[in-house]
Amino acid sequence: MKFKCSSISPEKATSTVLAIYYSYDSKTCAKTLSLLDKQLGGQLSDYIKEEIVSHKKGSFFRLSPLGNQSYKHIIFLGIGKTKNVTAPDIRHLSGSLSRFVKKLNASSVSIYLDTKCLGTIKEDQVTQSIAEGLSMGSYSFKGLKTKVESKSVALSETTLISSFKSASLKVGFSKGLAVAEGVNLARDLANTPANILTPTEVVKRAKAYFKGTTVKVSVIDAKQAAAMNMNAFLGVARGSVEAPYILCLDYKGGGTKKPIALVGKGVTFDSGGISIKPSSKMSEMKADMSGAASVFGAFSAISKIKPKDNIVGIMPLVENMPSSNALKPGDVITAMNKTSIEVLNTDAEGRLVLADSICYAISKLKARVVVDIATLTGASLVALGELAIALFSNSEKQIAEFKCNELFTGEKVWNMPLYDEFLDYLKSDVADISNCYEGRYGGVCTAAKFLQQFVGDTDWVHLDMAPLMSSSKTSGEQVKGMSGAATQSLIEFVT
Smallest separation, CB 126 to Zn ion (Å): 38
Q: Judged by CB under 5 A, does residue 270 bind Zn ion?
A: yes
Residue 114, contacted partner among ligand BES, Zn ion, none, CB below 5-8 A by kind: none
How many angstroms separate the Cα of 140 from the Cα of each of 154, 479, 491?
12, 8, 22
Q: Which of 375, 405, 409, 452: binder of ligand BES (CB under 6 A)?
A: 375
Smallest separation, CB 470 to ligand BES (Å): 8
Tell me the residue type at 358.
Answer: I
Smallest separation, CB 489 to Zn ion (Å): 20
Only segment of 121-129, 181-189, 327-335, 344-352 that touches ligand BES (CB under 6 A): 344-352
How far is it, in rounded angstroms, from Cα 180 to Cα 488?
Answer: 8
Residue ranges in 155-242 assigned as alpha helix (H): 167-191, 199-209, 222-227, 231-237
Q: Backbone phi, then psi, for 352, in 5-degree steps?
A: -70, -45
Q: Which is nearer to ligand BES, 50 or 438 (CB)?
A: 438
How far is it, in rounded angstroms, from Cα 392 to Cα 402?
Answer: 11
How many angstroms separate the Cα of 425 from the Cα of each of 87, 195, 441, 442, 448?
41, 36, 10, 9, 12
Smallest separation, CB 376 to ligand BES (Å): 6
Q: Judged by CB under 6 A, does residue 330 bind ligand BES?
A: no
CB atoms within 10 A of CB 305: 17
Residue 160 CB-half CA count within 13 A: 30
How far is it, in rounded angstroms, from Cα 29 to Cα 45?
Answer: 14
Active site residues: 277, 351
Residue 266, contacted partner among Zn ion, ligand BES, none, CB below 5-8 A by kind: none
Smallest separation, CB 458 to ligand BES (Å): 24
Q: Which is nearer to ligand BES, 21 or 425 (CB)?
A: 425
Tell me the residue type at 285.
Answer: M
Residue 443, contacted partner among Zn ion, ligand BES, none, CB below 5-8 A by kind: ligand BES
How many angstroms separate the Cα of 84 from the Cα of each of 19, 68, 125?
20, 36, 15
Q: Judged by CB under 6 A, does residue 319 bind ligand BES?
A: no
Q: Judged by CB under 6 A, does residue 270 bind ligand BES?
A: yes
Residue 469, contacted partner among Zn ion, ligand BES, none, CB below 5-8 A by kind: ligand BES
Q: Which of 33, 335, 391, 469: binder of ligand BES (CB under 6 A)?
A: 469
Whether the Cβ atoms of residue 219 and residue 247 lie closer than 8 Å to each other: yes
Find the Cα–Cα–Cα–Cα dihedral 450, 455, 461, 464, rounded to 10°. -30
Q: Which of 121, 466, 482, 486: binder of ligand BES (CB under 6 A)?
A: 466
Only segment of 3-11, 171-179, 340-348, 419-427 that touches ligand BES (CB under 6 A): 340-348
Smallest separation, CB 386 to ligand BES (Å): 10
Tell me the residue type at 141.
Answer: F
Q: Judged by CB under 6 A, does residue 41 bind ligand BES?
A: no
Q: Judged by CB under 6 A, does residue 416 bind ligand BES?
A: no
Smallest separation, CB 484 to ligand BES (Å): 15
Residue 378, contacted partner among ligand BES, Zn ion, none, CB below 5-8 A by kind: ligand BES
Q: Judged by CB under 6 A, does residue 348 bind ligand BES?
A: yes
What residues between 376 and 405 interact with ligand BES by CB under 6 A?
Answer: 376-379
Q: Which of 89, 347, 372, 401: binder of ligand BES (CB under 6 A)?
A: 347
Residue 78 CB-half CA count within 13 A: 15
Q: Judged by CB under 6 A, does residue 356 bind ligand BES?
A: no
CA dihedral sign, ordered 441, 442, 446, 448: positive
State the DSSP string of 354-417.
HHHHHHHHHHTT--SEEEEEE---SHHHHHHTTS-EEEEES-HHHHHHHHHHHHHH---EEE--
Q: Which is nearer to Zn ion, 89 or 464 (CB)?
A: 464
Q: Backbone phi, then psi, for 56, in 5-degree steps?
A: -55, 135
Q: Which is nearer to ligand BES, 118 or 292 (CB)?
A: 292
Q: Which of 132, 342, 347, 492: binder of Zn ion (CB under 5 A)?
A: 347
Residue 300, contacted partner among Zn ion, ligand BES, none, CB below 5-8 A by kind: none
Whether the Cβ atoms of residue 112 and residue 22 lie closer than 8 Å to each other: no
Q: Judged by CB under 6 A, does residue 350 bind ligand BES?
A: yes
Q: Judged by CB under 6 A, does residue 464 bind ligand BES?
A: no
Smallest separation, CB 344 to Zn ion (Å): 13
Closest CA to 3 of 179, 102, 134: 134
How far is it, in rounded angstroms, from Cα 442 to Cα 267?
Answer: 23
How many angstroms separate the Cα of 264 from the Cα of each of 318, 420, 488?
12, 25, 14
Only segment of 2-10, 48-56, 374-382, 417-425 that touches ligand BES (CB under 6 A): 374-382
Smallest separation, CB 246 to Zn ion (Å): 16
Interface residues with Zn ion (CB under 5 A) are: 267, 270, 288, 347, 349-350
Interface residues with ligand BES (CB under 6 A) are: 270, 288, 345, 347-350, 375-379, 436, 443, 466, 469
